[in-house]
Amino acid sequence: MIQEIIVVEGKDDTGAVKRAVEADTIETGGSAIGEEVLRRIELAAARRGVIIFTDPDHAGERIRRIVADRVPGCKHAFLPQEQAERGGKFGVEHATPEAIRQALAAVRTERPAEEAGADVVEWDDLMEAGLIVHPEAAQRRRELGRRLGIGYANGKQFFRRCRMLRITKRELAEALAAMDGGEGEAG
């Protein structure tokens, strides 16, 4: 049984999570999250903690931001798009139980970047790594996000995630070396 309550988008996501693990969920009902749902998530965070586990798409990222902005200190689980796709649609409900278990096992806790000290990833680190302002930046972020367990995002959001989830310069360098060296998965 997972201690934290998992925040998902809808009933189909709840079904997929419950096929993979024993856990309680709160459904946001899509991207128009109501005040009542946000209050339930705040209570859940205070009592048991929450894991935000939304679809790897634009709407899922919007929900993740809304919840994380309202409820600081959340844990985050990410599914790579290729593990959550069926028929051109992306969602937790399309992932296999094994992919869901892997995503939940690689959960990361949100904390202010300042707590990580001087070793926290900076914008210049992402530029030097070819993750922004680079012809292959999107593909590099997709692969690196998979290796770090933080999912895919555009450049600005990727930077925000690195800071929010306290990805260190060392973690970034190790994942980049594995990615560029063609080694096995990091983490």
Distance CA 64, CA 115 (A): 21
Q: Enumerate the β-bridge partners of residue 26.
A: 7
Residue 92 reports pLDDT greater than 90: yes
Reported as a single tens digit per residue, the pLDDT across 114-171 is 665 668 899 999 999 999 999 999 999 999 999 998 988 999 999 989 988 889 999 9
Sequence-ordered list of residues with C-beta below 8 angstroms from that of 87, at least 6 positions apart, any chain? none
Q: Alpha-carbon Rg of the chain, whole angstroms?
A: 16
pLDDT at 184: 45
Distance CA 58, CA 98 (A): 24
Strand pairing category for 50-52 and 25-27? unpaired
Region class of 49: left (phi > 0), else alpha (psi between -120 and 50), else beta: left
Reported as a single tens digit per residue, the pLDDT across 29-87 is 988 899 999 999 999 999 999 999 999 988 999 999 999 999 988 999 999 888 998 88
Domains of the chain (ranges plus CATH)? 1-110 (3.40.1360.10), 114-186 (no CATH)
